[in-house]
Amino acid sequence: MARAEAVRLGADLVMFAEQFLAGYPAEDLVLKPAFQDSCRAALERLARETADGGPGMLIGLPWREGDELYNAYALLDGGSISVRFKVDLPNYGVFDEKRNFAAGPLPGPVNFRGIRLGIPICEDIWTGDVVECLAETGAEMLLVPNGSPYWRGKTEERFNIAAARVTESGLPLVYLNQVGGQDELVFDGASFVLNADSSLACQLPANEEIVALTTWTKGEEGWACREAPVVTVEEGEEADYAACVLGLRDYVEKNRFPGVVLGLSGGIDSAICAAMAVDALGPERVHCVMLPYRYTSGESLKDAEACAQMLGVRYDILPIAAPVEGFEAALEPIFAGRERDITEENLQSRARGTILMAISNKFGAMVVTTGNKSEMSVGYATIYGDMNGGFNPIKDLYKMEVYRLAALRNRWKPKGALGPDGIVIPENILTKAPTAELREGQKDQDSLPPYEDLDEILRGLVEEELRVSDIVAKGYDPEVVKKVERLLYVAEYKRRQAAPGVKVTRRNFGRDRRYPIVNRYRDQGLAAHRKDEALERAIGKPRMGSMDM
């Protein structure tokens, strides 16, 4: 379809993203010989199409050559195939390419109808070596296919890297990025073109598949993009919200679920997840269920119903007293003589999770789980209960970020969203104190520090890997920081069993942050590299060959 559109537009060459034929990242699927064969066969079919004299094609795929598998980018023209291999394989954060691919040699340009095209692939432009080699061997422009996932602030980072390569090489650069969700990653597109003077010649939209024509001319200074669309790309919280919607939409659509179901509690987390689901799929594909028990307030019932009405979704109320009391009756013989505690609270959450999963099994809709990053960090969630579900759009958003995005959605709606305009989350949900309502008068901050403090402590521990002493130096109580760190570590086993969710921050749980479940290490809060006597008395003099944990 894209090539047909390129024919209609009169284009000479149509460019696709990194690993387009395989999908990126395909992870260990690319190691499967049958999958490699399928990608190669698809490429050869596309190459035969270019024998018609129409536009050439640039497209990515895994390419087996001898004993090595490469991350390759192929030029198809006149029925023939020319390939270049990725040199710099990222192996940090969400990237694991050295596991799957061999590094290619430094490339020269590829000839396309008399024009020498330099094709550095994604990470190849994050350092200068590949572009330098291409410039020295006669490249006239740089065409860069990318599978660059979104995280906050990524747009500016990409521009800075691209501008550095343009400045060094003196060549114009086309930055083409993948669009769509793949498991926990969202690829936001936002492709652009920089001319040789680093001026922006083209900016395509974020989170939207598009075929766009760029028109180029060659003058004394070389090639320049003279005509192309330039649009405004969402930034900041708007970009975060749009990424969450795209990630949820593609997870549901690509896994062929007919819709989603979620528990609507009257709280902020379920409300924003419901709004994101409606924006992603439309109200007719979202089913919200209130699951009240004796501790569910009238205020929560009222807020949940109002939110469902604003969003236009199906809304059912299914009381959980019978299953909860049934569980308690079944357990009574072995619980006899013991005080009620968090065990009984968790039975409520697990009854709700079981009911939602039963609805999912019966009707095929995927359960959306609604825990935010603050809760997932410290284990303030019930495994096999409110953690049940197939996908979590707010998994990488801290609690205070959830509040800000909810307020944002009430005054703004992303392009392409299928939900209603205007207010979709009742104001009372934004202003009341958060509570799980698992016991009388419960509030979240009976168990946790204020979310304003908790989120900042967690950013220090998770995103920045700060020492406890570094966080304490910012003014936080040492015992509170140590408690949060302990909760963060002991909740690792829960996070391993949690649903996938959209990556928004630079460092999410799962692909970015990989900690052992069995882990007794705790930061005692001592300042780094202090050699004074007080420190030695506090921690003991170190001995060769030993380490206290």
The gap from C-alpha 329 to its chain's centroid, in whole angstroms, comes to: 42
Q: Cα–Cα distance between 116 and 133 in angstroms, integer?
A: 13
**Residue 273: active-site member:** no
Q: Cα–Cα distance between 133 and 269 in angstroms, integer?
A: 50
Would the annotation count 377 as a binding residue? no
**Residue 122: active-site member:** yes
Query: Identity (one letter) of the amino acid at 533?
Result: E
What SS3 state is found at 73? strand
Q: Which of 122, 133, 273, 288 is catalytic?
A: 122
Would the annotation count 263 as a binding residue? yes
**Residue 86: active-site member:** yes
Would the annotation count 494 as a binding residue? yes
Write out the two tokens for 440: 């009388």
Beta pairing, strands 110-112 & 260-263 = unpaired
Q: Across-strand partners of 176?
A: 145
Would the annotation count 435 as a binding residue? no
Judge contact between 391 and 215, C-beta under 8 A.
no
Would the annotation count 114 as a binding residue? no
Would the annotation count 69 as a binding residue? no
Would the annotation count 474 as a binding residue? no
Write out the two tokens for 260: 């989603």
Would you tell me how many other CB atoms lie within 10 Å of the CB of residue 313? Answer: 24
Q: Which of 39, 86, 140, 225 is catalytic?
A: 86
Q: Cα–Cα distance between 298 and 288 in angstroms, integer?
A: 18
User: Which residue's entry shows tokens 């649009």?
Assistant: 231
Would the annotation count 161 as a binding residue? no
Q: Cα–Cα distance between 257 and 260 in angstroms, integer?
A: 7
What SS3 state is found at 545? coil
> At 76, phi and psi to the nearest 5?
-115, 125
Residue-wise DSSP of 329-387: HHHHHHHTT----HHHHHHHHHHHHHHHHHHHHHH-PEEBP---HHHHHHT-S-TTTTT
Q: Which of 18, 345, 437, 485 is catalytic?
A: 18
Would the annotation count 269 as a binding residue? yes
User: Which residue's entry shows tokens 């198809």?
Assistant: 76
Write out the two tokens for 196: 């040789």
Q: Which residues contact 411 (CB under 8 A, 6 or more apart)?
A: none
Q: Say how many Å lie between the first and final Cα of the chain, rounded.
A: 59
Length of the chain: 549
Would the annotation count 374 as a binding residue? no
Write out the two tokens for 493: 């086993």
Would you tell me how many other CB atoms lie within 10 Å of the CB of residue 449? Answer: 21
Q: Nearest to residue 144, comparing CAs of 13, 17, 43? A: 17
Would the annotation count 264 as a binding residue? yes
Would the annotation count 487 as a binding residue? no
* CA distances for 185 relative to 188, 336, 425, 504, angstroms: 10, 48, 26, 9
Q: Which residues contact 299 (CB under 8 A, 6 or more apart)?
A: 266, 428, 432
Would the annotation count 399 as a binding residue? no
| Residues of the binding site for deamido-NAD(+) | 346, 375, 494
Catalytic residues: 18, 86, 122
| Residues of the binding site for ATP | 263-270, 370
| Residues of the binding site | 92, 148, 154, 263-270, 346, 370, 375, 494
